[in-house]
């Protein structure tokens, strides 16, 4: 089928490329001419595993193309997927101006009837507004527009695998024709008729996805409800971690046992610096604002948001307690992206940690295998290193801010020798405390009961007798 994708960010690039991989004819457009030129040259402007290989293969097969001509792109597709950004406003509501711009573009430029599909994450009832805008601005009365919602459930770092082998596909529709057209678009994925190509190493074995057909309003709500629940799960794990520190329990042991309950599951129970990235923070805020406008109290979700914001404060306090004075200390940072397997630093906890350290006069060095170039545009004053051992050289502390598996494999014995003080403050509970302590490190993390060095124990009666003897003398 002929598909148009408007918006070439994370969601749009993955959507367009994977639809082409499924056999469709896809045209992608974006109002960023520089980005389109980059994509035409075969360069992927973001880091997402497997995406570059699929993009190159499908461009060469003439199933995937990029253009700045939005009018041509609108008219090339029978179905148009809107994948533009919906960033948060200052009050937390989703900014839907880009959705409105695209709707007016489609309404005024389309020469034939179209299925217009929301792929961007939007608040409930956005589809109803989209229908209204398409109708109001429609230039050709013979052109009909049908609207559907098809929320994305892509995780940065595994987005290609998530698209080609999803656990569920949600179709929010209001007519049989829209449902039939979307079923046909997703048929290769639903029937798992294609195998992972050779360059998709590690892709899970193909299995049929669950298709969920709902109303448009429900489909829109499903996305926000899902992300907000995951955010609450992360914040809950962090609250338990704080309690573990107070009562001498180990968060790793607690959440492991919790996760064995199939009603709970182990995912998103990792304590640490909290959630970041572009999706969870903005979706939580947008969901809360939607509830407020609808007269529903989302106090529980607000508290999850507050718990997440306090993680940085707690982490900085751990740094202060370990270093005493932060000013003029050499602090090394391992990890800048908001999560592993991406170069995305939007709403990354690392950014706020760096700001706080610089404000207190620390000298900061950092390493991240993918996210350093993006971070350098925000913090040109800090030093970026080519490999982790450079970060450790003469450092007073090392901070783990992203859970890159690479950091587990470092030669921590050598790193200990390089540092001025062997101190690690692990914001992701990534490392094994026993291993670090064997190498002479002072190790701090969230919610773990760490064995302190053994001290000579003096029984209370002996201590009292000694005290009395001292007083008598």
What single DSSP character describes residue 195?
P
Whole-angstrom Cα distance, residue 323 to residue 73? Answer: 57
**DSSP 3-state percent helix, strand, coil across the chain (nearest 5):** 45, 15, 40
| Separation between Cα atoms, residue 431 and residue 442, nearest integer Å | 12
413 near 441, Cβ under 8 Å?
no
Q: Which of 352, 344, 329, 351 is nearest to 421 (CA)?
A: 329
Task: Give residue 277's Cα distance to chain centre.
Answer: 4
Dmax (CA) for the chain in angstroms is 108
CA 106 to chain CA mean position, Å: 30
Residue 103 CA to residue 126 CA, distance in Å, equals 11
- Kindly state the helix (H) or strand (E) to which residue 39 belongs, with its residue range: helix 33-40
Of 230, 241, 233, 164, residue with least CA distance to 202: 164
- Are the C-beta atoms of residues 236 and 433 closer than 8 Å to each other? no
Helix ranges (H only) for 191-215 are none
Whether 375 and 384 have beta carbons less than 8 Å apart is answered as yes
The distance of Cα 79 from the centroid of its chain, to the nearest Å, equals 28
Cβ-contact 367, 384 below 8 angstroms: yes
**Catalytic annotation, residues:** 279
**Residues 444 and 239: beta-carbon distance below 8 Å:** no
């Amino acid at each position: 089928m002929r598909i148009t994708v408007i918006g070439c960010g994370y969601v749009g690039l993955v959507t367009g490329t994977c639809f082409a991989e499924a056999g469709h004819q896809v045209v992608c457009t974006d109002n960023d001419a520089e980005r389109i030129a980059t994509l035409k040259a075969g360069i992927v402007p973001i880091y997402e595993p497997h995406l570059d290989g699929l993009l190159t293969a499908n461009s060469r097969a003439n199933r995937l193309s990029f253009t700045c001509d939005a009018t041509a792109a609108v008219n090339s597709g029978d179905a148009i997927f809107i994948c533009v950004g919906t960033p948060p406003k200052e009050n937390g509501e989703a900014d839907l101006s880009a959705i409105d711009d695209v709707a007016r573009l489609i309404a005024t430029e389309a020469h034939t009837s179209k299925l217009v599909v929301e792929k961007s994450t939007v608040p409930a009832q956005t589809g109803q507004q989209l229908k209204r805008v398409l109708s109001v601005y429609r230039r050709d009365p013979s052109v009909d527009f049908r609207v559907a919602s098809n929320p994305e459930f892509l995780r940065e770092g595994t987005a290609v695998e998530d698209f080609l082998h999803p656990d569920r596909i949600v179709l929010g529709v209001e007519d049989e024709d829209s449902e039939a057209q979307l079923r046909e678009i997703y048929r290769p994925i639903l029937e798992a008729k294609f195998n992972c190509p050779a360059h998709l190493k590690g892709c899970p074995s193909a299995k049929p996805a669950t298709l969920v057909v709902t109303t448009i309003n429900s489909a829109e709500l499903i996305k926000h409800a899902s992300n907000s629940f995951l955010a609450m799960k992360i914040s809950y794990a962090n609250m338990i971690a704080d309690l573990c520190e107070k009562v001498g329990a180990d968060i790793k042991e607690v959440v492991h046992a919790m996760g064995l309950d199939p009603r709970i599951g182990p995912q998103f129970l990792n304590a640490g610096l909290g959630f970041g990235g572009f999706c969870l923070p903005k979706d939580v805020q947008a969901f809360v604002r939607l509830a407020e406008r609808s007269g529903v109290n989302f106090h529980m979700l607000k508290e999850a948001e507050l718990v997440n914001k306090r993680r940085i404060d707690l982490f900085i306090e751990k740094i202060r307690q370990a270093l005493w004075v932060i000013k003029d200390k050499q602090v090394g940072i391992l990890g800048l992206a908001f999560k592993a397997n991406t170069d995305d630093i939007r709403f990354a906890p690392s950014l706020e940690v760096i700001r706080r350290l610089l404000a207190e006069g620390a000298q900061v060095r950092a390493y991240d295998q993918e996210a350093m170039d993006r971070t350098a545009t925000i913090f040109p004053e800090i030093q970026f290193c080519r490999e982790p051992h450079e970060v450790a050289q003469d450092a007073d502390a090392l901070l783990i801010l992203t859970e890159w598996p690479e950091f587990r494999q470092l030669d921590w014995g050598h790193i200990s020798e390089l540092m001025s003080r062997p101190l690690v403050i692990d914001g992701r509970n990534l490392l094994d405390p026993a291993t670090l302590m064997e190498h002479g490190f002072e190790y701090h993390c969230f919610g773990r009961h760490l064995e302190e060095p053994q001290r000579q124990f003096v029984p209370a009666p002996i201590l009292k007798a000694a005290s009395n003897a001292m007083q008598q003398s």
